[in-house]
Structures are given as structure tokens and as C-alpha cells.
């Protein structure tokens, strides 16, 4: 039976394994095959859009099947609908709204301002979009970590991510081009050492070793990517990172859906 806790744990270990396999593929994989996988309109990009769409769908379903039963959840409904729409827009943006699938032509006014000559908004200022995405993840990790140590499982009656989901988000920055690293992007991930100390001092050795394993995988990813990321095309690391982000968001959305289904309430 699928439960919210089982989904979160399973998703985390799938993510760990995925990063490990991708990192090994960087060492031993064929450069042309790596390009085919991570290129624009490649399988990684379409999988990313697919999981963003599923995230949007799950947030909508959670809102309409579970939150609508509670008359005290007006603000929560607004938040869920807002993020459901945001993830739907992100899915469309990721594949330029099917431009190359349906062979749409880029309007002239977008050609002059879009860095990649595509029908989307995020490439109008790609550096700004990338920074916004990075800082949003960092702030989210810091916020969730703070809530964990404050022993707050909910915020505005919305269930917070569990520790496995927080760790999953912490892994995202390590798939990057280390020749253009943004050190502030790693601030959130470094908070994992707080969890390591916490579980050691609380004698929760099972979670201590899970945390230690996560740190080891982070280190392995960093070392391998630093030495082999040149085998990817310029935006290859970003494409894979965005795919992992979308998959983690899907896991969290499914976690929320199952949590509210099991409890039949918010928190």
C-alpha cells in the first residue's frame, strides 16, 4: 500500500540512486549519448516537463478532493491553486509550449528579446530566471530546516516536507558546472550538517547514517561533476538539475496528496 511516508522515503532513495548512476555515466558514458539525453528537446527535458505537469495535477486534486471538504481552508486553497498554476506554467515553459513538437514559429517580437528564439518567458532573461530558481530553492531549504528544528510540522495548516524530501532538495545544487559556481546556492545544502549533529546527539543512529550517506553522495557528485562535467554540453547540467527538481516536486506533491487523503484534514 502506498503511504505518504513510504512515498517520501522511496522517492529519496530513487533520487540518490539516480544521481549516483548519472554521475557514473559522466565518467564512463559516451559523450554523444550524454548530449542526446540532456539536449534541448531530449528525454531529460520532456521528463522534467512531465513531472512538473504531474505536480500541478496533484496539487489541483489535493485542493478539490480534500481541501474543499473543510470550510476553514480558504487561504490554503488559494496557495494550492497558485502553485498548481505555477507548476503548470513551468511545465509549458520547459518545452516552450510544444513549439518544436507542433512546429510553431516564434513571433517576431519574441525573437528580438528571447535568448534562444523560443516561445517562452524564462529565456528572455535566462540569468535572472536561473538565479530566481536557485535562490527560491535555497530559501525553501532554509525555511523547511528551520521548521524542522522548531518542531513545526505545518505552516498555515500545510504539511511541511519531511526530512527525506528536504535532503532531496539539498542534493539539487550539486549537479552543476563548477567553473561557474554560485557559492550562495550551496548555503541551504550545508544545513545538512545540522541534521547530522542532531541525529547523533539524539542517538538516532539510523537517521544519522542516512544523513551521512547523503553527505557522501553529495561529495561524490561534486568530485565527479567537477572533473567530468565537460563531457556535457553547456546547458546539460542545468537540464538534468531541472529534471531532478521537477521529480522531487512531484514526490512532495504526491506526499501532500496522500497525507491529506490518509488524515482527511490538513494537519
Angle at 35 between CA 123 and CA 13, to 5 degrees: 90
pTM for the model: 0.89
Give me 222's grid cell: 561534486
Residue 234 has phi, psi (to 5 degrees) of -50, -45
* Grid cell listed for 1: 500500500
Domain boundaries, the chain: 4-263
Number of other residues whose CB lies within 10 A of the CB of residue 56: 23
**Residue 180 has what pLDDT?**
62
User: Cell numbers at residue 142, please?
Assistant: 532554509
pLDDT along the chain (267 residues), means of 10: 80 91 83 80 88 96 74 76 93 75 65 64 66 88 96 88 95 78 80 96 96 93 81 75 94 91 64
**How far apart are the C-alpha atoms of 246 and 249, rounded to whole Å?**
5
Q: What is the pLDDT of residue 60?
A: 92
Which pLDDT score, from 0 to 100, does residue 178 have?
65
Distance CA 88, CA 221 (A): 30
Contact at 8 Å (CB) between 242 and 172?
A: no
**What is the pLDDT, as a whole number, of residue 125?**
63
If residue 48 lies in a helix (H) or strand (E), which one and from where to where? helix 43-65
Specify whether the CB–CB gap between 208 and 14 falls below 8 A: no
Cα(22)–Cα(238) distance, rounded to whole angstroms? 13
pLDDT of residue 215: 95
Long-range contacts of 186-194 (CB under 8 A, 24+ apart): 187/138, 187/142, 188/137, 188/138, 188/139, 188/140, 188/141, 188/142, 188/145, 189/141, 189/218, 191/141, 191/142, 191/145, 192/167, 192/218, 194/145, 194/149
Query: Mind giving me the DSSP string for 231-266?
Result: GS-TTHHHHHHHHHHHHHHHHHHHHHHHHHHHHSS-
Dist CA 138 CA 134 (whole Å): 6
Amino acid at each position: 500500500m502506498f503511504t505518504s511516508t513510504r512515498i517520501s522515503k522511496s522517492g529519496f532513495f530513487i533520487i540518490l540512486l539516480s544521481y549516483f548512476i548519472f554521475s557514473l555515466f559522466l565518467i564512463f558514458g559516451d559523450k554523444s549519448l550524454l548530449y542526446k539525453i540532456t539536449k534541448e528537446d531530449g528525454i531529460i527535458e520532456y521528463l522534467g516537463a512531465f513531472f512538473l505537469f504531474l505536480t500541478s495535477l496533484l496539487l489541483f486534486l489535493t485542493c478539490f478532493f480534500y481541501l474543499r471538504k473543510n470550510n476553514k481552508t480558504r487561504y490554503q486553497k488559494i496557495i494550492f491553486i497558485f502553485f498548481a498554476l505555477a507548476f503548470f506554467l513551468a511545465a509549458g515553459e520547459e518545452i516552450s509550449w510544444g513549439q518544436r513538437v507542433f512546429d510553431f514559429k516564434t513571433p517576431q517580437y519574441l525573437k528580438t528579446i528571447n535568448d534562444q528564439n523560443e516561445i517562452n518567458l524564462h529565456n528572455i532573461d535566462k540569468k535572472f530566471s536561473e538565479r530566481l530558481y536557485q535562490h527560491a530553492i535555497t530559501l525553501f531549504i532554509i525555511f523547511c530546516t528551520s521548521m524542522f528544528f522548531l518542531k513545526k510540522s505545518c505552516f498555515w495548516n500545510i504539511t511541511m516536507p519531511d526530512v527525506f524530501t528536504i535532503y532531496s532538495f539539498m542534493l539539487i545544487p550539486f549537479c552543476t558546472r563548477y567553473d561557474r559556481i554560485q557559492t550562495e546556492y550551496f548555503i541551504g545544502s550545508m544545513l545538512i550538517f545540522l541534521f547530522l549533529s542532531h541525529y547523533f546527539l539524539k542517538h538516532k543512529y539510523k537517521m544519522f547514517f542516512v544523513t551521512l550517506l547523503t553527505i557522501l553522495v553529495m561529495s561524490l557528485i561534486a568530485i565527479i561533476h567537477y572533473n567530468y562535467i565537460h563531457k556535457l554540453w553547456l546547458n546539460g547540467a542545468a537540464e538534468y538539475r531541472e529534471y531532478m527538481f521537477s521529480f522531487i516536486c512531484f514526490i512532495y506533491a504526491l506526499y501532500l496528496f496522500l497525507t491529506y487523503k490518509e488524515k482527511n484534514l490538513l494537519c
